[in-house]
């Protein structure tokens, strides 16, 4: 056993070890904090997602497709302006090898706060445009202004969050998000139940922003101040501009396209698309998003160690696919009988096909996104720019054709087709880290997920008969997946869990 593994497996205090060199100590610290942070992050994110799922079940009952469509549209509009609120400085501070100076932190804070205020002013000044082109009334405009104000709240939280990420304290990073979601979802559900309609979101967004700032500064404070250091800004923009160009393409591909869909499809059909997309993303947010929040700063810290980076990439792929693929396959396979058995959700049955396809598409993204995240963490942002340009062009060319042919379901059909190109990032990562492998870390999870999908789809007439039949089908799927992944792939499963160093070694 290496000194590195011995440190972790025995849970020795790293700072007190004098017999290992500084690189081993740093690697051990990174691994310990990353693993513990990832586990804490996943469990707390799981709590957030459970809250979100329960809230969206209630909102799916209290709100109709048109109200859901309005919220989806406003979120997309705000997403476009999110690009202007950050010129990549935050990501640069996380990715930066050296510790950021006080001037770096204050310059970033000053720039981001100024941009946030500018966005609020722009959105308010464009009020006649929103009224004319989007048909926004008083309630829609109030929601738009509330979400614009949230940019200011977010800018106040940026530096403390960056410092926590650089310290790999992911167990603390997630706490403000947990507070925000508790405040947001409890308030929005209560107000929707009281009949506030779209205004429920307005009040909840304002409360969420304020709660997030209070929670963040109660955990991490910093010598807040204003600065605009040219040298600091120039050094940060080298990576930041490319990072933000990548984000701009993502906004054009996703948020701007949603605004276009709102104009083309109308609010009701956009509501179906938004509802299907939202529900399909929960497994991704629970698993992939949690891991990505840990891997970007972690991979940035170990980017010069090819062997350690290879192991980290393979481990992240294994655990992401282990958790995400069965949930996504279960959504795609069982959504039809589930909606058929719940009369409260009958109004959402037209969106079932889209939800299934979105879930399958996200299963591809759950593997490709960690790889594009890897490219960004090791400084190969140009490849990410190429990929995002490619996917943006495909979205804006294929999706309109599919909508013209298949109606609003064409959005999901096009998304699934574009998702098939997710293999390309694997090629780029393989060139950057030649020793990394992919299929050995995916094969059993992929086979198990395919069987879940087949059980759900082929047996849908049985699972639609009653709730007990449906639960039986789900149990059969879970059992099948466990047999495949833990049974056939037992040795691999055991080795991967043991390698985390947070549980004792199992006896063979």
Q: Is 501 left (phi over 0), alpha (psi -120 to 50) or beta?
A: left
* The two structure tokens encoding residue 481: 């997946």
Distance, CA of 37 to CA of 339 (rounded, Å): 37
* The two structure tokens encoding residue 504: 């004792």
| DSSP-derived 3-state class of residue 226 | coil
Contact 310, 436 (CB under 8 A): yes
Q: Which residues of the chain have pLDDT under 70?
A: 1-42, 44-45, 79-98, 168, 170, 232-249, 251, 290, 292-298, 300-301, 303, 489, 496-508
pLDDT score of 93:
67
pLDDT score of 56:
84
Distances (CA, A) of 171 to 52, 132, 222, 410: 20, 46, 19, 40
User: What residue spans define the domains of the chain?
Assistant: 63-246
pLDDT score of 449:
94
pLDDT score of 10:
36
pLDDT score of 9:
35
- Count the neighbouring beta carbons within 10 Å of the beta carbon of residue 411: 29
pLDDT score of 262:
78
Contact 370, 320 (CB under 8 A): yes
- Give the tens place of pLDDT for each residue, 421-433: 988 998 898 888 8
Distance, CA of 204 to CA of 199 (rounded, Å): 9
Nearest partner of 154 among 162, 142, 164, 165, judged by Cα: 162
Nearest partner of 317 among 421, 450, 426, judged by Cα: 426
Distance, CA of 134 to CA of 130 (rounded, Å): 5
| Euclidean distance between the first and the last CA atom of the chain, given in angstroms as a whole number | 17
- Give the tens place of pLDDT for each residue, 55-112: 888 888 888 888 878 887 887 777 666 655 555 566 666 656 667 778 878 888 888 8
pTM exceeds 0.85 for this model: no
* The two structure tokens encoding residue 361: 């598409």
User: E-strand spans in 197-264?
Assistant: none
Q: What is the dihedral of CA 128, 130, 135, 138, to 10 degrees?
A: -80
pLDDT score of 16:
36
Contact 238, 52 (CB under 8 A): no
Distances (CA, A) of 362 to 54, 277, 413: 21, 10, 12
pLDDT score of 150:
85
- Count the neighbouring beta carbons within 10 Å of the beta carbon of residue 283: 24
DSSP structure string for 117-181 = HHHHHHHHHTHHHHHHHS---HHHHHHHHHHHHHHHHHHHHHHHHHHHHHTT-HHHHHHHHHHHH
pLDDT score of 377:
75
Distance, CA of 298 to CA of 300 (rounded, Å): 5
């Amino acid at each position: 056993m290496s000194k590195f593994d011995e440190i972790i497996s025995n849970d020795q205090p790293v700072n007190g070890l004098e017999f290992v060199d500084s690189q081993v100590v740093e690697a051990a610290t990174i691994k310990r904090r990353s693993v513990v942070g990832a586990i804490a992050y996943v469990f707390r994110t799981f709590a957030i997602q459970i809250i979100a799922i329960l809230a969206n079940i209630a909102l799916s009952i209290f709100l109709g497709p048109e109200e859901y469509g309005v919220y989806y549209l406003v979120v997309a509009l705000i997403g476009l302006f999110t690009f202007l609120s950050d010129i990549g400085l935050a990501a640069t501070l996380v990715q930066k090898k050296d510790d950021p100076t006080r001037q770096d932190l204050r310059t970033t804070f000053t720039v981001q706060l100024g941009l946030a205020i500018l966005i609020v002013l722009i959105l308010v000044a464009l009020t006649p445009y929103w009224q004319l082109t989007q048909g926004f009334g008083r309630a829609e405009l109030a929601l738009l202004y509330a979400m614009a104000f949230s940019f200011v709240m977010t800018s106040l939280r940026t530096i403390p969050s960056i410092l926590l990420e650089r310290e790999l304290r992911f167990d603390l990073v997630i706490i403000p998000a947990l507070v925000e979601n508790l405040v947001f979802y409890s308030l929005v559900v209560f107000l929707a139940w009281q009949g506030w309609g779209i205004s429920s979101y307005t009040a909840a967004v304002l409360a969420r922003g304020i709660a997030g700032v209070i929670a963040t500064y109660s955990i991490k404070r910093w010598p807040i101040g204003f600065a605009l250091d040219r040298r600091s800004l120039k050094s940060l923009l080298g990576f930041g501009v490319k990072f933000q160009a990548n984000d701009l393409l993502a906004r054009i591909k996703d948020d701007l396209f949603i605004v276009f869909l709102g104009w083309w499809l109308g609010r009701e059909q956009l509501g179906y698309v938004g509802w299907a997309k939202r529900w399909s993303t929960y497994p991704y947010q629970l698993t992939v998003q949690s891991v990505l929040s840990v891997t970007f700063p972690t991979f940035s810290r170990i980017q010069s160690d090819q062997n350690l980076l290879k192991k980290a990439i393979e481990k992240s792929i294994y655990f992401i696919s282990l958790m995400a693929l069965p949930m996504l396959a279960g959504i795609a396979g069982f959504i039809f009988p589930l909606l058929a058995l719940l009369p409260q959700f009958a109004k959402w049955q037209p969106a079932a096909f889209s939800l299934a396809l979105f879930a399958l598409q996200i299963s591809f993204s759950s593997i490709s996104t960690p790889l594009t995240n890897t490219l960004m963490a090791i400084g190969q942002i140009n490849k990410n720019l190429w990929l995002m340009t490619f996917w943006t062009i495909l979205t804006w060319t294929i999706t309109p054709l599919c909508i013209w042919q298949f109606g609003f379901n064409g959005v999901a059909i096009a998304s699934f087709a574009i998702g098939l190109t997710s293999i390309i990032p694997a090629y780029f990562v393989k060139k950057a880290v030649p020793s990394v492998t992919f299929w050995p870390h995916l094969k059993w999870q992929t086979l198990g997920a395919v069987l879940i999908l087949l059980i759900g789809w082929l047996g849908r007439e049985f699972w639609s008969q009653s709730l007990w039949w449906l639960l039986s089908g789900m149990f059969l799927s879970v059992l099948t997946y466990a047999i495949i992944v833990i049974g056939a792939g037992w040795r691999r499963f055991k080795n991967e869990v043991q390698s985390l160093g947070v549980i004792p070694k199992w006896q063979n």
